[in-house]
Amino acid sequence: MLITAIAPDGCAFCGSARRAGKLGGQRGTLWGSPKDPLREYEPMHDAPTATGTPPSGDGAGEREPLSAGLKQRHLTMLGLGGVIGAGLFVGSGAGIAVAGPGIVLSYLIAGALAMLIMRMLGEMSSAMPASGAFSVHAERALGRWAGFSVGWLYWFLLVVVLAVEATGAAQIANGWVPAVPQWGWVLIFMLVFTAANLTAVKSFGEFEFWFATLKVGAIVLFLVLSLLAIFGVLPDTEAVGLANLTGQGGFLPNGWQGVVSGVLAVAFAFGGLEVVTIAAAESDDPARNVARAVRSAVWRILFFYVGSMLVVVTLLPWSSMQPGKSPYVAVLDSIGVPGAGQIMNVVVFVALLSALNANLYGSSRMVFSLAERGEAPRSLLKVTAGGVPRRAVLSSVAFGFVSVLLNLLWPDTVFLYMLNAVGAVLLFVWALIALSQLRLRRQIERTAPEKLTLRMWAFPYLTWTALAAMLAVLVLMLTDDGARPQLLWSAAATGAVLVVAGLRELRMRRSGR
């Protein structure tokens, strides 16, 4: 969902069932009781407000719950297709240019980190499904400040990236139909997906199901054609052997430094998996469905990414790759697929619209969850008869429209600053996910071990390994001239949110809340 190598200046981002019980207890440590985070907990989207009482919406208990319109097939394809986007189809060229064939190792490292994060998310979400997912988990594990911070940071991330996706899709559509200006296409896309998200959650699920099916199908077809070309089975092709892997400076032409630079170039392309855990709360069986979606997604996603890069650098010399140019187009051209550029344009176009749709959905559910817990205006809790948080959707798309306008008017000034401000936010979100899992896992093991239907591998060692890896990436970004501005702006944005969270916490404690 989060995509790379489209924004200027090399920016890294260019992505319940019905209520049956109530949550209660004190806030600040763990909900319910410090000894029992799951006391009175039912796996729904509800959460206490800042006063420690269940939310009631506009009236006393009159708010309707979110619908349970997503099916298992929706979640499965959302997990599979969620991170297959322009970051892979286009942005991977930048990684190959700096790492050479070693980009395979870069994707293995970045993909392994994403898999660990997804496993942590799957463990917590299958035990405690919630529409706010990791924001709710952070609040339970670390306190109000953590839930507030990670929720608003993720919302800001999604609505800014949404503007990039809308603009990127509009640029492609404008090339096909120049009579419609770029801003006109942006307006069309935003209106269509706003309508889809306002009708019913099933509409979102169906859009994402078919988008993901097309993207997964494109990857599978690409891998099949590439393998046939590698072995010389296709007409007018000869077996290529290992010449491109061992020539042109060898497998690591730029050494391990190139692999590290490749990790920085591709790591953020794995962002977007998180939406699966948000969406699971609106399925008929959240705990079971999110566990199945996570299990089916993580290995296949890694296979798609690493497998794609392996066949690309086997078929073509890595030195022929150019940042911003799709290596997929280059491969399809080399094996004689007619109209390869336009075919990939269609695939990227679908990938961008898919990310736009998913980010609008994810941002609306995140701000809805924040409102449930008293961390956003209570007016956003209003839902339709079909269980759609209409005001949460409209508030997210409204800011998305503002972001699009800034992107169209000042792409190299105001919008660039916003884009840089979310450049490393995903890492901060992932770090809070890992810290939350460290604490919640031990609490759940003591109080309700039967809820751990999906467990983090080698706990707690791999969780600490993931945290160390994220710290290493942040350090590498600080030492990289191209990535440093993103890190500094993202750190400033994160710091600002943390300050607000701290001030709110202080005010609530003084008022006895």
Q: Please report which helix (H) or strand (E) contains residue 141, including its range.
A: helix 134-142
Alpha helices in 177-250 (DSSP H): 182-199, 201-230, 243-246
Domain annotation covers residue 230: yes
CA angle, 119 then 392 then 400, to 5°? 85
Q: Which of 2-6, 233-237, 349-353 has the lowest mean pLDDT?
A: 2-6
For residue 101, which of 231, 222, 240 has the smallest C-alpha distance? 240
User: What's the rounded Cα separation, in Å, for the pair 133 and 128?
Assistant: 8
In this prediction, residue 82 carries a pLDDT of 65
Statement: residue 43 has pLDDT above 50:
no
In this prediction, residue 444 carries a pLDDT of 93
Q: What is the CATH number of the domain that holds 177?
A: 1.20.1740.10
Instruction: Give per-residue pLDDT as tens, 448-482.
Output: 999 998 899 999 999 999 999 999 999 988 988 88
> When comparing pLDDT for 161 and 46, which is higher?
161
pLDDT band at residue 26 using 50, 70 and 90 as cut-offs:
very low
470 neighbors 434 (Cβ within 8 angstroms):
yes
Domain annotation covers residue 188: yes
Domain annotation covers residue 182: yes
Sign of CA dihedral 318, 322, 324, 330: negative
What number is the average pLDDT over the span 276-300? 81
In this prediction, residue 143 carries a pLDDT of 92
Instruction: Give per-residue pLDDT as tens, 227-243.
Output: 999 988 888 778 888 88
> When comparing pLDDT for 25 and 466, which is higher?
466
pLDDT band at residue 63 using 50, 70 and 90 as cut-offs:
very low
Domain annotation covers residue 246: yes
pLDDT band at residue 163 using 50, 70 and 90 as cut-offs:
confident
In total, how many domains does the chain have?
Answer: 1
Domain annotation covers residue 17: no
Statement: residue 27 has pLDDT above 60:
no
What number is the average pLDDT over the span 417-438? 89
The pTM (predicted TM-score) of the whole model is 0.83
In this prediction, residue 468 carries a pLDDT of 96
- Please state, for a pLDDT cut of 70, what percent of the chain lies above it: 87
Domain annotation covers residue 36: no
DSSP 453: S
Domain annotation covers residue 48: no
335 neighbors 315 (Cβ within 8 angstroms):
yes
How far from 176 is each of 182, 184, 211, 327, CA to CA, in Å?
A: 11, 13, 20, 22
What number is the average pLDDT over the span 151-157? 93
User: What's the rounded Cα separation, in Å, for the pair 377 and 429?
Assistant: 22
Instruction: Give per-residue pLDDT as tens, 198-257.
Output: 988 888 888 888 988 888 888 889 999 999 999 888 887 788 888 888 888 889 998 988
Domain annotation covers residue 369: yes
User: What's the rounded Cα separation, in Å, for the pair 79 and 15?
Assistant: 12
Q: Give the range of the structural domain holding residue 328, as residue numbers without chain letter.
A: 72-506
In this prediction, residue 51 carries a pLDDT of 32
DSSP 13: -
CA 125 vs. chain centroid, Å, equals: 15
